């Protein structure tokens, strides 16, 4: 049985980890390298590092931050934010990232997905999709959830799969930071649309909510952030709870 991944997410503004609600009201959480190392020790399967101000500021993630985090990790590291060219993607991978996460750049220039997949392999290309519920569908947003696009969830997922993406990171803006659980309907819709592995993001606060997301066929991982940063729980404790619920997860560290 495929073991599900528990993936701490480090949203960084420059070189400091922050956390907000619905992408707003950011609070400082700590140093990304220190937090990444702590979560690996607790049993994290991967770490995602998202520079949430890079696109708005017209820059790439700071390579020195990526290098500092990568040096502390023995598990895969995914980096996103402001990756607007093949050269920048190469720099981030060269700084120690195992995968890149493309969001706004993919929406602005979808051909970048194909170019990155051909150069670095589909396994290194994650497309991050931020959505809000609009009537009976989900609208895709760019620039950290602040800019609506003409895309809806299913057509955009089909597009990125056809362009060579290797994985989807699906975030519900409505649920982000609320602790109300993942958008299971959006996850089911995504999983029914594409055959790519999907990581659930936005709203996970309790083991029961994580288990519900991981029970959706096609969802192979769950992103968590605030519940770890706040010290409310640990990766190891979550994995113990999930294992007791019958969820197949790797043993905690």
pLDDT tens readout for residues 77-103: 999 999 999 999 999 999 999 999 999
pLDDT value at residue 18: 87
Percentage with pLDDT > 70 across the chain: 96
Please identify every residue annotated as catalytic: 11, 130
Rounded to an integer, the average pLDDT of 157-183 is: 96
Rounded to an integer, the average pLDDT of 63-78 is: 97
pLDDT value at residue 27: 65
Domain regions of the chain by residue span: 5-244
Residue 6 has pLDDT above 60, yes or no: yes
pLDDT value at residue 153: 98
Residue 165 has which token pair?
Answer: 């993406």
pLDDT value at residue 252: 78
Q: Return the CATH number of 5-244, one of 3.10.290.20, 3.40.1280.10, 3.40.190.80, 3.20.20.70.
A: 3.20.20.70
């Amino acid at each position: 049985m495929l073991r599900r991944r528990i993936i701490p997410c480090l949203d960084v503004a420059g070189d400091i980890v922050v956390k907000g609600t619905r992408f707003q009201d950011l609070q400082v959480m700590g140093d990304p390298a220190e937090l990444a190392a702590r979560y690996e020790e607790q049993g994290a399967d991967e770490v995602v590092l998202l520079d949430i101000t890079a696109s708005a500021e017209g820059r790439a993630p700071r390579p020195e931050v990526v290098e500092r985090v990568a040096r502390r990790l023995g598990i895969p590291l995914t980096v996103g934010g402001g990756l607007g060219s093949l050269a920048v993607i190469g720099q981030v991978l060269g700084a120690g990232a195992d995968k890149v996460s493309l969001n706004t750049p993919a929406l602005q220039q979808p051909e970048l997905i194909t170019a990155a997949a051909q150069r670095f392999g589909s396994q290194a290309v994650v497309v991050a999709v931020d959505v809000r519920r609009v009537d009976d569908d989900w609208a895709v947003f760019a620039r950290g959830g602040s800019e609506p696009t003409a895309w809806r969830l299913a057509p955009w997922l089909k597009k990125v799969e056809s362009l060579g993406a290797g994985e989807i990171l699906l975030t519900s803006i409505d649920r982000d930071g609320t602790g109300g659980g993942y958008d299971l309907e959006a996850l089911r819709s995504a999983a029914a649309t594409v055959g790519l592995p999907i990581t659930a993001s936005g709203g996970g606060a309790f083991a029961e909510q994580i288990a519900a997301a991981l029970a959706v066929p096609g969802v192979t991982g769950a992103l968590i952030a605030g519940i770890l940063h706040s010290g409310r729980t640990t990766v190891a404790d979550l994995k113990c709870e999930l294992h007791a619920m019958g969820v197949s997860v790797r043993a905690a560290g």
